[in-house]
Structure 1
């Protein structure tokens, strides 16, 4: 691609690098100088324009962006029409945005002319939300460079959405003297609000004493008709041998992970029984504010694997907004 100042009498077919507004004529960056436009510019006293000309082997910005976006777009995403070297990718379902970071990093390493930007991985999105954008920085990309970028992506799409599933969620709340009914009610409302955008719903709720035997019995009552179980403890889990994990293991469940490098949310417990997930919710899950509970729950609802290794990887970015109402905030109030 040639780029620079072009005498106006030689500008036919050139691509304007900057907008031009003069004597009622408005041309935008990226507009092509036609004979009529060139004549009007000359009549207005314009002697030259900053412009680009494509050469053999160049792929125009829109075509290059469209080809790259087409390769990037995976399940439940769509590409919009290209404009000014940009193509946006949108979700076609409510779910979690998923990205092949290594593939996208390889594309962005090819050349500064080719860029791909995305939302953070595992960000919940709604149908119609933008999840990624492709931008060709100059007015074209060499065909060989574009092919290198396409090859760098590999055969699998690097941008997709895992749709939320309308799971049936059963809830058990354990009780201790002094725990108000209003706290349990507020917790259930917060969970229902979390589930609302996903299509999942609370199908059963049982309250029981905060001891392993009572919780074991409660789990047996709610489990048969549920796809996932959530336990809200009257007291936070402090050890793998505490009441909630002990009851889950007695129920035949397997503890996958206790504790996560996300704050608020450190004291989350993740377990499973026969492939059915069980979450021992941290105390912060009673709040509607984002916390580690959201990150695990959303993955379960979207059918995205979440195991010990996945939770270990949540530490960078895992320091979330403080929830002032929780019993032990990060900084004591003076």
Structure 2
């Protein structure tokens, strides 16, 4: 790459895209990489502020920004993704399927710490749809040393930074608890909320039972649901510390591994997550606090995509939700396009 006066560049090969900005009209490349500069191009180049311009000189030790972006794309994209057209040295990663986006944050940090190159991605653990943009890649200068790109590539030699997990769970059970519902004193307003939210992920409620505040009956209901072959179980009600709230005890008595009873999320502090193991199956059993019934967004909305993608959640990960786990209950809810739940 060589810097020359624009007025002396006729016949030379342009080594990068030249962007023209017309406010309110367009921002696009007026000339593309590889364009051979003509006499008629000189006034246009000068009009976009290019008194000096880079022309291409062959150097086997260097990579052009477009070629480097291709390498960064391969480091970033996993299965069920495709690249955009290379434009001004940038490639975007686009989803080919719905699912849960996972980001390898450590590898992403290492790549972006190299200098002279970058990968910008969406938050991990978020729901993406086919056609969504997931990330963008480019180098900062116009050219970069091949050796540097080769070293950066080693970070992602075995696995890319991004992957999409499909939503694999299809059959759910809901165990409704509470004397007030069981004896018909109030209408069950919880189950319809759960059913609506899981239906958005293609999950069907195939098992539903209602019990009074009897922990033995609730335990048996959970185990009956497991034996019908459901993929996931949601228990509603009875999640506080009141003496007659027996759902946490009932879930524990199923023999499930309790991951956490309580989460640093508001709304959702009384959430319980456990995993029940039967043969080669692992069935999440969740205790949902009452806030999931009447608040727009809660801990339920944060964990649901991960559970339905069969993405195991640890207690350490739940602890990370303390940062970003405070919902502002905005008058107009924009979730997931907000900070709620972006801490893990």
**Is 1:175 equivalent to 2:178 in the alignment?**
yes
Partner of 1:41: 41
Corresponding residue SS for 1:84: coil
When the two structures are aligned, how many residues end up with a matched partner?
315
Partner of 2:314: 307
8 Å CA contact 1:73, 1:157 repeated in 2: yes
TM-score, normalised relative to structure 2: 0.80
Corresponding residue SS for 2:125: coil
**Is 1:227 equivalent to 2:231 in the alignment?**
yes
Q: CA deviation at 1:58?
A: 2.5
Superposition CA RMSD, Å:
3.1
Alpha-carbon distance in 1 for matches of 2:113, 2:243: 44
- Cα distance change of structure 1 residues 237 and 41 upon mapping to structure 2, 3 Å threshold: same
**Of 136-145 and 291-300, the range deviating more from structure 2:** 136-145
Among candidates 70, 73, 76, match of residue 74 of structure 2: 70
Partner of 2:341: none
**Is 1:104 equivalent to 2:108 in the alignment?**
yes
- Cα distance change of structure 1 residues 62 and 304 upon mapping to structure 2, 3 Å threshold: same
8 Å CA contact 2:17, 2:88 repeated in 1: no
8 Å CA contact 1:172, 1:219 repeated in 2: yes
- Cα distance change of structure 1 residues 32 and 298 upon mapping to structure 2, 3 Å threshold: closer
TM-score, normalised relative to structure 1: 0.82
Alpha-carbon distance in 2 for matches of 1:43, 1:169: 67
Alpha-carbon distance in 2 for matches of 1:307, 1:27: 46
Alpha-carbon distance in 2 for matches of 1:102, 1:266: 29
Question: Deviation above 6 Å: which 4+ runs of structure 1?
Answer: 178-182
- Cα distance change of structure 1 residues 253 and 20 upon mapping to structure 2, 3 Å threshold: closer
Alpha-carbon distance in 1 for matches of 2:243, 2:317: 19
**Is 1:151 equivalent to 2:154 in the alignment?**
yes
- Cα distance change of structure 1 residues 216 and 143 upon mapping to structure 2, 3 Å threshold: same
8 Å CA contact 2:180, 2:186 repeated in 1: no
Corresponding residue SS for 2:296: coil
Give 5+ residue unaligned stretches, structure 1. 325-334
Give 5+ residue unaligned stretches, structure 2. 332-344
Partner of 1:93: 97
Q: CA deviation at 1:108?
A: 0.8
